[in-house]
Every structure is written in structure tokens, then in C-alpha cells.
Structure 1
Amino acid sequence: EKVYTVHVTNSVQPLKVTLSWFDPPNEVFAARFLLHDLDLLIESPSGQVFYGNALVGSNDTPGLGTQRDEINNNEQVTIAAPVVGTWTVRVQSKRLTQALTQNFALVIIAQGSIVPAADVAPLSPALLLECHFSTGTPSTTPLVSLEITKLSKLVNTGWSATDSYSIVSKDPASEFADSGRFTNVHPFEVDKACVPAGCYTARLNVNSTSSKLGSQMSIPECGVYLSPMTPQQDFCIDPPVARLDGTTA
């Protein structure tokens, strides 16, 4: 997160903040629109928070709440008549999958002065997220959340039920394993898995002749992309990173 402080001295001129960044190349049928997802938040002197691109209806009035834009790599907030006082501009990282940092451009227009950004905490990859359990007893070992994308042949009706994938730990060998099957009902699906940090082997097991030309399985956060031509790939996952406030990211 990076934080900028804006001291507004006149409410006649609007407060306008624009955030823009280049997102890394993505898959055509990726599970998410953005590999690197940044968020723009503006906090008023009274504590109200406005989110980038969160507009009320069809007009240009910024909306309050927690609606974050997960589609666009350009976000903007415009306050037509900002209250005189100290405003806070935050650039937060919701997800970074291809690098530890992300460059961005930020333009702030207002009547007043701007305090330079403060680095509150490093931007961390999304795959370094501790899995949170809604029920049951949490694991004593920090776990990492993965999203596994399954894509069938486009000209077919979908996967055969005999096709599958597996994720198996390398050291210690086979201590942890996760697997899943594909159906011929849904040509595009996303599975989720919680795994401990370590090195793994991902395998795509294609058994049906009807899907061999278009079978694909990927873990975008880890750079894993499997097909019948490349049915196996090794990858490693780092443990969750501790934030400055004591939580994990």
C-alpha cells in the first residue's frame, strides 16, 4: 500500500484522482480479468471512503462502500466539491501474480498541497494468501490459496469424466496431494485448493481421445499452464508474508 495525503484548501475546484497501470499479458480465457489488481481508495476528512470507478447509477457521483473494480486497470474518483481539510489517497494491491511489485501512474488534481507517498507495506503476490477456514479448526501450518482453471476443447461439448489433474508435493515426496476431475457439462471451471508452502508437480491426465486436442489446466498465480503437449510442470510456493499489522498477506 502507498498513501498520499492531500490538504484541500478550496472546495470550488474538484478533487480528481486517477490511477493507471500496465497489467501483464493474460490468458484469453483466464479466470480473472487482471493478473495485477490495484485499487484506488479516497478517504474524506470525516472518514468516508470512496472507491475507484464506483459510481452511483449512471452519473459521475462517486459511491461509498466496498465495491472494488476487478476489471479495469484505470481507476478514477472525482469529488465535485471536496470538503476543506485533509484527504487520504490510498493505492492498494489486491493481487500480484507475476512480480513482487507493480509500477503505476497516479495523478491528483486539487486546490491545495500533496504530501509524498509513504510505503506502508510491500505489495505482495496474491498467491501468498493464508487460507481462511469458515468452519472447523484452522491448520497450524500456513496455507496458500490456489485457483485451478480447467478449460475444455472449444469445439467439443466439454471434458470427459475420465480426464483429471493432480498437484503433488516434491519434498517430502507425495506428503501433500490435491486432485480433481473434469466434466462434460461445463467446458470452463475453476477449482480452489489450499496447500502448504513448498515445491510441487502439477500433472494433466488426459484419457479421452475426444478432448486431447484442447485439454488445458492452469494455475495462473504460479505460472503453470498445462496441455496435452506439456502435461507436467514443477512449481514452488513461498509461505505467506507477514504484514506490518501482524496479519498475513
Structure 2
Amino acid sequence: MPELPDVEGFREVLASCAQGERIKRVQVNDTGVLHGVSARRLKRDVEGRRFTEPERHGKWLLARTDGPTVLLHFGMTGELVCCRETDPPDPHDRVVFTVGHHHLRYRDQRKLRGIWLAEDADADVARVLDRQGPDAMAVGRAEFAELLSGRRSRIKSALTDQSVLAGLGNLLADEILWRARLHPGRRANDLTDDECRRLHTEMRRTLRSAVPTGCVPPRKSWLTGHRDDTDPVCPRCGGALHRERMGGRSTVWCPGCQPDGS
């Protein structure tokens, strides 16, 4: 599932492929990924515009133009690909923007989210993103602590709740909690000030390391690099990793490094 680093990578794809370019054509191959906008209206309002500098908020990509803003969410299997016009199409290319001599292709197998159009760069974008919390890359320590102090849910659930904090998914949450040595089942509002400070620090460090790769990297020194092993062990202490479903999500942690303090 694309998480914050993946979407930041898609932002860079858009910037390098299309920023400043005129949108010559919008081809909608599957209207099932359009939300609140028809294919005809998307073409009418976007064709002839120029892409300006794109932005990201959490898992959302804001493809700004000199008119409306195209908002893209990638669900579990989505991606944004820059191709030459002559490159063969992929069966999962749902919407294709022709810019210069390139195609910017919104590609998604499962179609769980999709594309929105915001006519007003401020009000309409805010409406689409209304239920999103602050971006995980930008949230400060004091705001982070305040967000968690009001949550009685497990800390893993709080971190992955996009209305609390935007951008973190399953892999990042497990990685950050492992680095912070916090059990994922702890209640968010039970964390001490020191634990909350440590969690924020490790979140920032993890994101800064992951963003340049455009993914949550499966490095051998990371929990992520071992969670799918047949007999996964902790890269820090060598103990066996534990897996359990929490809040409907497969959650992995090290009982030795992350003791249950509840």
C-alpha cells in the first residue's frame, strides 16, 4: 500500500515529468476511479491548463494546475507513472494525461480510491481533505503529543488513523514503534511525555530516511526488512518477531524490544 514516502515519490514523478507542461489531452479509460467529477468535465476543465508545482498531504497528491487542482489518492495498489507517448499501455492505466511528449499515467489495479477535481484551489481542496489530520512530515512535537493525548485507542491504530495523522500506513507505523521500543498495543493516551517525545523523534527519522527511496525500504537493519521472512527475527536483538492482527491490520513487533507495558 502506498504510504507517505511512496506518494512523495509520485510527487517527484509529476514534477519531473509534467511541471510547467501544457496538458494536451486527458484520456479516461475507466470512470470508476473518478469521484464527484465526470470524464467530460475532467477533460473540459483540465485540458489546455499547465501543471504547476505539485504538493502532497499525507497520502494525497495535489496535482496543481493554473486552474483547478487534480487530487489523486492511490489506495492499496495505485501509482503514478511517467512514460513516453509510444510506450505500450498497461491494462491498469485508468487515466492518462498527455503532457509534452510524455504520458502521465494514473495506474491502479484494485481501484480502491482514485481522482477528485477541486475547482477552487483553497476551499474545494480543503473540503476534499477535510477529514485529514496534519501531515506526518510537518507535525511538530507539541501538536503530536496533543493529538495522541486525546486518543484512547491503541497507539498503532492512532498512528494509522488518517484523521489523526496523515501519511502513515501499516509498514511505517510498525517500523516507527519498533524504533521507539513501544508496544503497538499500548493506549495512545497512556504514553509518558518521554515516550511521546521518543516516538515523534523516531517518526521524523524514519520518514527522513524513507522519503528519498520513494518507498518504505526493506533494509536488513529495519524491521520492515524482516517482517515477511519465514521465521522473522528482530534485527536489533535477534529475538523472534511476533505477528498479530490489531484493528484489522497485520502488526509485527519484537516482544523483547517492545514489551507490553499495559
* TM-score, structure 2 as length reference: 0.22
Q: With structure 1 as the length reference, what TM-score do the two structures score?
A: 0.23
**Larger proportion of strand:** 1
